[in-house]
Structures are given as structure tokens and as C-alpha cells.
Amino acid sequence: MNTADLKQEITSLIEGANDMASLEEVRVTALGKKGKITGMMKNLGQMDPEQRKTAGQELNILKTEIASLIESQAKMLKKQALDERLATEKLDMTLTPRPEMQGKVHPISQTMEELVTIFGEMGFSLQEGPDIEDDYHNFSALNFPVGHPAREMHDTFYLPDDPSETGEAAKKVLRTHTSSVQIRSMANAKPPVKMICMGRTYRSDYDITHTPMFHQCEGLMIDKETHMGHLKGCLMDFVRRFFEIDDLPTQFRPSFFPFTEPSAEMDIGCSRKDGGLKIGAGDSWLEVLGCGMVHPNVIKNFGLDPDEYQGFAFGMGIERLAMLKYGIPDLRTFFEGDTRWLDHYGFDAMARPNRAY
């Protein structure tokens, strides 16, 4: 067979191959070990030198031509396959997601994020501490001496003594407040310190404004110069930002906490009409948090000299903040796991308009 006929034959086979598998078959037929062109190349040996030279050149040219024909046919087939997929696999980006988006961000999570954002922008770092605390961190170190009536104010859940520890460390409680984290985060800290801590707290209490588990946010600022004016400024800025009311009135009432001296409770302005509550300038006040200047005994327990260091602290209930901001009437409903409640009070995970940033 001459090369022209062979070329004709293989070319039409290539053109007839309409998928990659049959094209591969053609390649093997032509250029494979036992292929037609390969076979003819093997025959070159039996020719006389002159003939071999011309036939060899012709065959080499044919081989290159066929290889490039196969390559362009392969390209064409791949493009065709892609075009087909593109034509059939249509995706309408304007369709709503299916299944419909489910689940909402819980108001507690939402409020915590808002707190982190606001205090974060003021330069407070975020700290953590354990839910199972020992008597020392929850009480003694915070200036609650054993037998002090202030301990009774917390309806504490006591756990059995931990046999692997001794003394105050063996006496375990579910932390009654996040103030315990003050002591932990000051342990190796170098002032100035500005920290907040958020998390679960526990007290044996249950009614419309109390649940045995709830959340608190604690704040602490320690350095050499911090005074009551800084405390007031920081908390006034915070509530105005959190409630998104620039002229929100505030007042500080004297109070008592063992770990602060002086101690205060902070109120924000509100008005009550027809059983409704509106936050903002009005004729009434709502308590939102406790605060004060850190007691010298607590500064000592931080391992610092109270003649050199001072600072302020504050603590607030996260559910209470969420209830006031988002108009949620009953605290107990936060933890009932009712999806209808969450549908109503929860936040869209994607679009979160009430996010503070």
C-alpha cells in the first residue's frame, strides 16, 4: 500500500471517530506497536538503501501528519463534550436556595457578638474561664470570706469535693458569675489589662427573670491611673452603642459587691406606657449592670500592689440585655429550644442587619 492511500484511509478513520475512546482505537491502529504505519516502518529494513531513504522520509512525514491530525481531532472532541455539558448543565443563580435556608442565630449568640465587637473596638481582649470553678476563684479571691452573707446572695450549685485536689481548690462549684475569670486572667498578666469574658453562669433559681443557667459578660480594666470617671465613660459609651441610642440617659446608684469599692449599679433611661417599655430618655429607669472600682483585697489577689494599681470592673446578664434590646418578655423561653420562638426572635445567619459591624 502506498503512503497516500494509507493517509487517506487513516484520515477518514480519524474524522469518523466521534469520541475519545474510538479516536484512541484509531491511534493504536495507525501508530501503535502493531499499527499500520509502525508495520511499514519495520519493512524499511528489507528495502535497498535508495528506496529506504525516500520511503523512510515519506513514512516519517506521514507519522507526524497523522499524529497532528489525531491531536486536533482530540481537541475538537473535548471542546464538543464541554459545549454539550455547558448547554445541558444549566444553573440559575437567581433561584432561591433549596432546601430553604433553615436555622437562625440565637439572640444570645447575636448579643455576644455585639458585645465582643463593641468592647473589642474599645481595646478589650476576650478571655475565657472554666464553668466548673473552685471556691477560691468564685468566692474567696473575690473578697467573699467563708461565712460572709454575700455568698448566700448567690444560690450556688455545689459539687462534691474533688479528691484529686486539696483545700479551696477541692471545693467545686458551678461558677455563679463570670467574675471568677478576673482572677484567672490576672494570674500572669502585666497591667495595663483590659479584658472581657463571656459565658455560662449557674444559680439555683427559676422564674420569669431567672433560669438556673444564664450568661454573663464581665469586664475588667487594671492600670495605675484608672478611676471612676473612666468606668462611667466606658459604660455610658457601651450602652449608647449597644442600644443604638446616642443620647441614652444613664445613672449610677451606690450598691454593694464584695469585690468592688465603691460599687454601683447602672441604670438606663426608659419610659413605660400602657404596659409597654421603651428604652431612651423618659420618666423611668432600668437597671442594666453592676460595676465598681476593684477592691484592694482583690488587687492583692491579682498579685499586685493596691497602692500602685487600681481599676474598674463590671458585670452584666446577657439575656437581660437581649431581652431589653430585642423585646423578649420571658427569660425562660431562651432555653426551651422551641424553633418557632427562634424563627421569631432569631437572626438570619447570612444577612445580619443588627450586627454591630
Binding footprint of ligand DAH on the chain (CB under 6 A)? 177, 179, 218, 257, 260, 290-292, 313-315
Distance (Å, whole) CA 344 – CA 346: 6
Rounded least distance, CB 154 to ligand DAH, Å: 7
Strand partners, 279: 270
In the bound state with ligand DAH, the residue whose beta carbon lies nearer, of 179 and 211, is 179
- DSSP state string for 141-153: GGT--TT-HHHHH
Rounded least distance, CB 124 to ligand DAH, Å: 13
Cα 268 → chain centroid: 31
**Residue with smallest beta-carbon separation from ligand DAH:** 315
Rounded least distance, CB 315 to ligand DAH, Å: 2
Q: Which residue has the cell 454539550?
A: 84
- DSSP state string for 287-323: EEEEEEEEPHHHHHHTTS-TTT-EEEEEEEEHHHHHH
Burial 64-74 (b: 16+ CB within 10 A, else e): eebeebbeebb
Rounded least distance, CB 225 to ligand DAH, Å: 18
Rounded least distance, CB 191 to ligand DAH, Å: 17
The answer, yes or no, to whether the previous bond of 262 is cis (omega within 30 of 0) is yes
Count of alpha carbons within 13 Å of 19, Cβ hemisphere only? 2
In the bound state with ligand DAH, the residue whose beta carbon lies nearer, of 140 and 260, is 260
In the bound state with ligand DAH, the residue whose beta carbon lies nearer, of 83 and 205, is 205
Q: Which residues contact 98 (CB under 8 A, 6 or more apart)?
A: none
In the bound state with ligand DAH, the residue whose beta carbon lies nearer, of 52 and 184, is 184
Q: Would you say 116 and 196 are in contact if contact means Cβ atoms under 8 Å apart?
A: yes
In the bound state with ligand DAH, the residue whose beta carbon lies nearer, of 144 and 345, is 144
Q: Which residue has the cell 464584695?
A: 258
In the bound state with ligand DAH, the residue whose beta carbon lies nearer, of 73 and 127, is 127
Rounded least distance, CB 172 to ligand DAH, Å: 18
In the bound state with ligand DAH, the residue whose beta carbon lies nearer, of 107 and 292, is 292
